[in-house]
Amino acid sequence: MWYVFIIMGVLAIFSFGTMGCKQLIKKSYTDKDISPDDTIKGKFKREYIKEKLSALAESPDVKELKPGAMCYAAVQNTDSIHYVCPKCGEKTLYTAAEGFFVARELSYCRGYAAAITEIELKLDESQFCKKCCPRVKNPELCIDYKFADDEKTTEVCNINSNDLILIKEFLQGKDKHKTFNDGEEQLKLYVPRLRELLGIKN
């Protein structure tokens, strides 16, 4: 009779193990912690952006805004710098204001552009390369972007780091804009510029 108890024990262990595996499998598929934001990154449609801009323009004023620093240390201008084209590898020499933009502003823009994941967006630096754009006398930084329902990309030029910060803040649903001196401003004040940047008319 002892073998009957052994068989019953084995069956009980097998049954418990099967139920445990089923519960584990069920849990792995049903208890996923998915943030709503994760489902819409890179999926914003043009109509949604238009409605979002209108809502921002009509939003109430933010009552508390942080003042920025009153003074900052002067930044030394860059006399000259070589811009290295990421596409062809050619070097282009820049001085004065354009040299400053290449040395500092361009690196900021690259970082801010990479942080924008809500829409498909990339920088276009081609105008700064004399080999890629030999006829351009006053180079401008551009962005190419596309909403989820766009068939082709849109290009906007004369971009700076503040423009990219505005885009990121807007897409994140913020109502404040962080200034260069760590202060805060009403983001809705920049709705006209955001409409230009994102190609959204009134």
pLDDT of 151 reads: 92
Q: What are phi and psi of 138, to 5 degrees?
A: -120, 90
Q: Which two tokens stand for residue 131?
A: 């080999």
Is the pLDDT at 26 greater than 80, yes or no? no
Q: Work out the percent of the chain whose per-residue pLDDT is above 70.
A: 73
Find out whether 121 and 159 touch, Cβ atoms under 8 Å. no
Question: Length of the chain, please?
Answer: 202
Is the pLDDT at 113 greater than 70, yes or no? yes
pLDDT in tens, 153-167: 999 999 999 999 999
pLDDT in tens, 79-106: 689 999 999 999 999 998 889 899 999 9
Find out whether 133 and 55 touch, Cβ atoms under 8 Å. no
**Confidence band, pLDDT 50/70/90 cuts, at residue 182:** confident
What's the pTM value of the predicted model, to 2 decimals?
0.75
- Cα–Cα distance, 53 to 59 (Å, whole number): 10
Distances in whole angstroms, Cα of residue 22 to Cα of each of 9, 16, 26, 33, 66: 20, 10, 6, 20, 54
Find out whether 187 and 177 touch, Cβ atoms under 8 Å. yes
Residue keyed to tokens 């262990």: 13
